Structure 1
Amino acid sequence: MFDWTRSCAYDEQQKRRFHTTARSRLKKLAAELALPPGSYDVRSNKAGVAVSGEVTLHHTAVYIQVGQFGMSSGHGILIRTCKGRKNYTGGANHFVALSMLDDIPALAAAVRAITGVGRADADSADRRAA
């Protein structure tokens, strides 16, 4: 399991792993939310040597950004609504723990609860109903 709390500051290898892993998890999140291909992009900004930078999933209606910007609070995933992929300010900011990247179904549930975007996997819903 990835150590989301290990600082990326002044550690190029950790920053590379952080961005690679976060990009992979955000792509899994998009699949879990059943976001249509082409309705979102996943991008990475490594920023300077003293910070983690951020990895962003930007959908037409939701903006999710991962970074080590809330480490003292344990938060590092920003979730908010937006109006299109040119909208970078969007709705109210909501934060959840970076560790939620290790539980994509739970993160998807949080995104749905906060934004109303995405749908639960039909197979998962069928299993819960049974």
Structure 2
Amino acid sequence: MFDWNRSCSYDEQQKRRFHSTARSRLKKLAAELYLPAGSYDLRSNKAGIAVAGEITLHHRRVYIKVGQFGLLSGHGILIRTCKGRQDYTGGPNHLADLTLLDDIPALAALVHAISGVGSSPRSAVSRAA
């Protein structure tokens, strides 16, 4: 399991793993939310040596950013609604713990509850039946 709370500051190898793992998890999140290919951007900004940077999934209705901006609190996932893929400010900020990247169905349920994007757990179960 990846250690999301190990700082990336001044640790290029940890930063590389952080970005690679977060990108992979956000791709899984997009699949869990049933986002069609091409309906979202997946960006990575490594920023400077002293910070983790951020990995962003930007859909037309939701903006999800992963970083280490709340290491002491464990928060590192920012979720907010938006109005298009050019909207970088969006609605109110909702913060979630980085460890939710290890539970993609739970993260997808939270994203759905905040934004309405994707399927609710109940409709996903009925679709699978």
- Shorter-chain-normalised TM-score: which range? over 0.9
Cα distance in 1 between the residues matched to 2:90 and 2:126: 33
Cα distance in 2 between the residues matched to 1:31 and 1:121: 14
> What is the aligned partner in structure 2 of residue 87 from structure 1?
87
**More divergent stretch after superposition (119-128 vs 46-55):** 119-128
> What is the aligned partner in structure 2 of residue 20 from structure 1?
20
The answer to whether residue 44 in structure 2 is matched with residue 48 in structure 1 is: no
Runs (5+) with no aligned partner, structure 2: none
Runs (5+) with no aligned partner, structure 1: none
Shift of 1:126: 3.1
> What is the aligned partner in structure 2 of residue 107 from structure 1?
107
TM-score by length of structure 1 reads 0.94
Query: RMSD of aligned C-alpha atoms?
Result: 1.9
- Residues 11-52 of structure 1 show CA distances to partners (whole Å, capped at 9, x for unaligned) of 000000000000000000000000111110111000000000
TM-score by length of structure 2 reads 0.94
Q: Which runs of 4+ in 1 moved over 3 A?
A: 120-124
> What is the aligned partner in structure 2 of residue 96 from structure 1?
96
What is the count of residue pairs matched by the alignment? Answer: 129
Distance 1:121 1:109, change over 3 A: closer
Shift of 1:123: 8.5
Shift of 1:127: 8.6
Q: Does the 8 A contact of 1:32 with 1:120 survive in 2? A: no
**More divergent stretch after superposition (32-41 vs 117-126):** 117-126
Cα distance in 2 between the residues matched to 1:43 and 1:117: 19
**More divergent stretch after superposition (112-121 vs 28-37):** 112-121
**Identity of paired residues, percent?**
74
Cα distance in 2 between the residues matched to 1:64 and 1:103: 15
